[in-house]
Amino acid sequence: MASQPYTRAVSRAALTVAIAAGVCLLAAPASVVRAAVSSTGEINVVGDPTGVVPTASSPTLILTLLVDRSQAEPGEEIKTIEVSLPPGFTVTVDDVGAVKVETAAVAFRAETSADAVRFVLDQVIDNFLSSVIEIDFVVRTPDAPVAVATFGVVLRNPTNAQIGDFVKPGEIDGNPANNNDYTLQVIPNIPPDTPTGVGVAADPDGENDALVSWDPVDDRDVQGYFVFRGDGATFEALGGDAASFRDVDAPPGANEYSVAAFKSRLVVSERSAAAAVIVPADTKAPNPVPVFTVAQDISGLRVVWRPSDSPDVVRYDVVFGLTGADPELLDSRLAADVPEVGEFEFVHRETLSPGRYVYGVLAVDENGNVSEAREFVLALLDRPHPNPFTPLGAAPFNTVKFPTRAVADAVGDLVVRIYDLHGRQIWVSTPSTGDVEWDGRRGDGTLAAGGVYAYQMELGGQFRIGSIVLVR
């Protein structure tokens, strides 16, 4: 028996394996082994992930099972996989493709009847592992529509006794978006009308996108539209009332587009007449990232941002530098590598000197266009020095400097206030974007007496307080 050409990637992540009663139209024999083998499965249609097939057609189905034999007992060896067919569905021996266990084809023979198809393995499955089993076969669908056509699956041992209950339906193949049970829908095999009014235009804002439009087909059974580009690329616009599609990052130059309506991916209209457009090179910069923060934790300065909403962004550049200086590139991240949490993160572990810094994130598209920088201003406040200081002494010990060293999104300027021990303010600095110095004089210009003074540093809503000693 020749295998049908079909490849599927199987993921086992987050699979819940259990036995539950399924719907099966094939009467089970009296002998049932109450087993510790648990099984889950799904049936999908090649070419239509929604599980919709046309009447009087011959689609290929893929049955995927996850069988857990880690707790199997004697008598629970798997010899036969039996699939019961809904009324009106038929399968012949010649319709059967391949049986694969963990992607490796195994030898078997097929047995068919009016209401079932059985896959009898040459070698029983008797290991104590979890195995993914995949079977492909062609069915003949009934001539009349069916709203819900339900298959059933059971496992049998070498004596033909049923192992446990029916194999429960559930997501197995790692694709939660496709059909995840044993039911199909049969619709009339009558293609919809061909879409009319097809047109295409270049994006007016400078993106290398093509804007395809058409008049929706007046048919409530239409589920969506295929959009065909002249170079062979095919896209989907879902929804019967869909009337447009944006081909993002279309090849610059001459392109043609046509449109077809579909009731299912297997019941498709004729293609429309083609419409042509000249797609220009991409000259539009992406939109900047919407959220960008910098915060200090035990590992360093943590830079976090959310992706741009521009669909053609290919990477993000993190830049850094002193205010007013040319920034340097700290890191680049591919846009396709966005973590599951939906935001990017970079930890800057460099020890920074006091100063005022700017972090920025730039979104870059496939043509090298760069967004406006989303910036975060970082000021670093430190304790004043020298402390104590002597106003009448020699430099640099005759003034006390209040440097910028504390993490803050500093939208304001640094302001320093000096208080005597009675809580009276004796001096306040002019707002400054850099360091602040005090020469020991009060606001009226007279020299303050020797002693201890309190200070308050304020920058961007951040405060630091402490004391300094003035020596006369």
Give pLDDT, residue 142: 97
Q: What is the largest CA-CA distance in the chain?
A: 109
Please tell me whether residue 93 adopts helix, strand or coil conformation.
Answer: helix
Best CATH choice for the domain 32-187 from the list 3.30.1490.100, 2.60.40.740, 2.40.270.10, 3.90.76.10: 2.60.40.740
Question: Residue 264's beta-bridge partner residues?
Answer: 267
Q: Who contacts 314 (Cβ-Cβ below 8 Å, separation ≥6)?
A: 334, 335, 336, 364, 365, 366
Q: Are 162 and 121 in contact (CB under 8 A)?
A: no
- Beta-carbon-side half-sphere exposure of residue 462 (alpha carbons within 13 Å): 18
Give pLDDT, residue 38: 84
At the top level of CATH, which class does the domain 292-379 belong to?
mainly beta
Give pLDDT, residue 340: 73
What is the architecture, at CATH level 2, of domain 196-279?
Answer: Sandwich (2.60)
**Strands lying side by side in the sheet with 300-305:** 292-297, 300-305, 344-348
**Omega within 30 of 0 (cis) for the link into 87:** no
Q: Matching CATH topology for 32-187 and 196-279?
A: yes
Q: Are 71 and 179 in contact (CB under 8 A)?
A: no
Q: C-alpha 435: how far from its chain's center?
A: 45
Spatial separation of the C-alpha atoms in residues 59 and 137, rounded to whole Å? 9
Please tell me whether residue 95 adopts helix, strand or coil conformation.
Answer: helix
Spatial separation of the C-alpha atoms in residues 189 and 166, rounded to whole Å? 32
**What is the reported pTM?**
0.63
For the chain, the domains span 32-187, 196-279, 292-379, 382-470
User: Where does residue 131 rank: exposed (0-12), middle (13-18), buried (19+ CB within 10 A)?
Assistant: middle
Domain 382-470 has CATH 2.60.40.4070: yes
Give pLDDT, residue 26: 37
Give pLDDT, residue 181: 93
Please tell me whether residue 94 adopts helix, strand or coil conformation.
Answer: helix
Q: What is the pLDDT along the chain (472 residues), one digit of tens a residue?
A: 333 332 333 332 322 222 222 333 333 444 665 556 789 999 999 999 999 999 999 999 999 999 999 998 999 999 999 999 999 999 999 999 999 999 999 999 999 999 999 999 999 999 999 999 999 999 999 999 999 999 999 999 999 999 988 899 998 878 888 888 999 999 999 999 999 999 999 999 999 999 999 999 999 999 999 999 999 999 999 899 999 999 999 999 999 999 999 999 999 999 999 999 999 999 999 999 999 988 776 678 889 999 999 999 999 999 999 887 889 999 999 999 888 778 999 999 887 776 678 899 999 999 999 999 988 877 666 778 899 999 998 988 999 998 765 444 455 678 999 999 999 999 999 988 778 899 999 999 999 999 999 999 887 666 778 899 999 8
The dihedral through the CA atoms of 99, 102, 106, 108 has a sign that is: negative
Spatial separation of the C-alpha atoms in residues 134 and 103, rounded to whole Å? 8
Q: Are 460 and 412 in contact (CB under 8 A)?
A: yes
Give pLDDT, residue 299: 76
DSSP characters for 379-427?
A: EE----BSSSB-TTS-TTTTSEEE---S--B--S-BEEEEE-TTS-EEE
